[in-house]
Copies of this chain bind each other. A is one copy, B any other.
Amino acid sequence: MNDLRIKDLSAHVGEEVTLLGWVYNKRSSGKIKFLILRDGTGYLQCVFFKGNLDEATFNEAGAVGQESTVEVTGAVKKEPRAPGGYELDAKGLKVTHATEDYPITPKEHGPDFLLDKRHLWVRSSRQVAILKVRHRIVKAIRDFFDERDFSLFDPPILTPAACEGTSTLFETPYFDLGNAYLTQSGQLYAEAGALALGKVYTFGPTFRAEKSKTRRHLTEFWMVEPEMAFADLNDDMDLAEEFLEYVVQTVLKDCAEELRTLERDTAKLKNVERPLPRISYDEAVEILKKKGSDFTWGDDFGGADETLISEEFDKPVMVHRYPAAIKAFYMKRDPENEKLALAVDVLAPEGYGEIIGGSQREDDYDTLLGRIKEHKLPVEAFEWYLDLRRYGSAPHSGFGLGLERTVSWICGLDHVRETIPFPRMIYRNTP
Select one of B99, B174, B429 contacting A390, CB under 8 A: B99
Docked-complex contact A139 and B135, CB < 8 angstroms: no
Bitwise interface map of A from 188 to 224 toward B, beta carbon under 8 Å scored 1, else 0:
0100111111110000110101010000000110100
Docked-complex contact A157 and B220, CB < 8 angstroms: yes
Docked-complex contact A139 and B142, CB < 8 angstroms: yes
Kindly state whether residue A287 has any CB partner on chain B within 8 Å. Answer: no
Inter-chain CA distance A310–B409, complex, in Å, is: 50
Least Cβ–Cβ distance between A282 and chain B, in angstroms:
25
Within 8 A of B (CB), among A137-195: 138-139, 142, 146, 149, 151-160, 170-177, 180, 182, 189, 192-195
Kindly state whether residue A41 has any CB partner on chain B within 8 Å. Answer: yes
Number of chain copies forming the complex: 2
Kindly state whether residue A72 has any CB partner on chain B within 8 Å. Answer: no
Interface residues of A toward B: which range?
A: 35 or more
Docked-complex contact B174 and A172, CB < 8 angstroms: no
Kindly state whether residue A232 has any CB partner on chain B within 8 Å. Answer: yes
Stretch at the interface among A80-88, A366-374, A391-399: A391-399
11 pairs of residues in contact across A and B, judged by CB atoms under 8 Å: A5-B149, A5-B198, A40-B194, A96-B394, A119-B384, A120-B387, A139-B142, A139-B146, A156-B429, A172-B172, A180-B429
- By a beta-carbon cutoff of 8 Å, the part of chain A in contact with chain B is 1-3, 5, 7, 20, 22, 39-41, 67-69, 96-97, 99, 102-103, 117, 119-120, 122-123, 127-128, 131-132, 134-135, 138-139, 142, 146, 149, 151-160, 170-177, 180, 182, 189, 192-199, 204-205, 207, 209, 211, 219-220, 222, 229-232, 235, 384-385, 387-388, 390-395, 420-422, 424, 426-431
